[in-house]
Chain A
Amino acid sequence: MDKKFCLFFMLSLFIVFLSVSLVNCGPNAQNKEQVKSIKVWHWMSDREDAFLELAEIYEKETGVKINFELYAPSDAYTQKVRAAAQTNTLPDIFGILGEKRDFASFVKSGYVYDLTEDMDRDLGSWKNKLFAKALAVNEFEQANSSGVKPGIYGVPIDVTNIQMLYNKDLLRGAGVDASRPPKTWKELIEINEKLKAKGMQGLVSGWGEIWMIDCFASNYAFNIMGKDKVLDTIRGKVPYTDPDWIRVFDLFREMRDEGMLASGIVTMVNKTAEQLFANNRAAFAFNGSWCVNVYKGMNPDLNYGVMLPPQASDKYPMTIWGGAGSSFMVNKQSKEVQLAVDFLKWITDAPQQIFLSKETQDLPSNKYSLKDIPMVLSQFANAMDNTTHPNVWGVSESPLVIEAFDKGIQSIIIGEKTPQQLGSEIQAIKEREMKKK
Chain B
Amino acid sequence: MRTKTVLQNYLFVLPAVLIFSVFYIYPFYKVFTLSLCQWDGIAQFDFAKSFIGFRNFIELFQDKIWWGAMLQAGYITLIALTFQNALALMLALACDRDIKGGNIYRVIFYLPPVLSEVVVGLVWKWIYDGNYGLLNHWLTSIGLSNLVTDWLSNPNTALTCVAVIHCWKGFGWGFIILLAGLQTIPRQLYEAAKVDGASSWQMFKSVTIPLMVPVFILVSILTVLGTMQVFVLILSMTDGGPGYHTEVPVTRILASMVNSSRFGYACSQGVMFGAVLLAVSFVQIKLSKYMKQA
Q: What is A's interface to B at a CB cutoff of 8 Å?
A: 2, 6, 9, 75, 78-79, 82, 85-86, 98-99, 101-102, 105-106, 108-109, 208-210, 262-269, 272, 276, 281, 399-400, 403, 407-408, 410-411, 413-414, 416
CA–CA, A407 and B69, complex, Å? 14
A-B CB proximity, top 3 nearest: A399-B260, A263-B130, A264-B130
Q: A98: which B residues are within 8 A, CB to CB?
A: 261
| B244 (CB) vs chain A CBs: closest residue | A407
Q: Is the interface of B mostly helix, strand, loop or mixed?
A: loop
**Known: A264-B150, A267-B238, A414-B154. Contact between A399 and B243, CB under 8 A?**
no
CA–CA, A108 and B68, complex, Å? 36
Residue contact A102 to B261, C-beta cutoff 8 Å: yes
Residue contact A266 to B241, C-beta cutoff 8 Å: yes
**Known: A281-B131, A416-B155. Contact between A411 and B242, CB under 8 A?**
yes
| B136 (CB) vs chain A CBs: closest residue | A263
Q: Most B CB atoms within 10 A — which of A101, A264, A416?
A: A264
Residue contact B243 to A105, C-beta cutoff 8 Å: no
User: B41 in the interface, Cβ–Cβ < 8 Å?
Assistant: yes
Residue contact B238 to A75, C-beta cutoff 8 Å: no
For window 232-253 of B, CB contacts with A under 8 Å fall at: 237-239, 241-244
**Known: A403-B255, A411-B243, A414-B243. Contact between A102 and B154, CB under 8 A?**
no
**Known: A264-B150, A411-B242. Contact between A276 and B131, CB under 8 A?**
yes
Residue contact A266 to B242, C-beta cutoff 8 Å: yes
Residue contact B258 to A266, C-beta cutoff 8 Å: no
CA–CA, A413 and B260, complex, Å? 24
CB of B270, distance to nearest CB on chain A (Å): 16
In the assembled complex, 5 residue pairs joining A and B whose CB atoms fall closer than 8 Å, in A order, are: A75-B258, A102-B40, A264-B129, A266-B242, A403-B259
Q: A414: which B residues are within 8 A, CB to CB?
A: 153-155, 242-243
CA–CA, A240 and B92, complex, Å? 57
CB of A414, distance to nearest CB on chain B (Å): 5
CB of B223, distance to nearest CB on chain A (Å): 26
Residue contact B153 to A264, C-beta cutoff 8 Å: yes
CB of B8, distance to nearest CB on chain A (Å): 7
For window 130-148 of B, CB contacts with A under 8 Å fall at: 130-131
Q: B258: which A residues are within 8 A, CB to CB?
A: 75, 78-79
CB of A216, distance to nearest CB on chain B (Å): 16
CA–CA, A6 and B150, complex, Å? 67
Residue contact B261 to A267, C-beta cutoff 8 Å: no
Residue contact B43 to A267, C-beta cutoff 8 Å: no
Residue contact B260 to A2, C-beta cutoff 8 Å: no
User: B179 in the interface, Cβ–Cβ < 8 Å?
Assistant: no
Residue contact A262 to B43, C-beta cutoff 8 Å: no
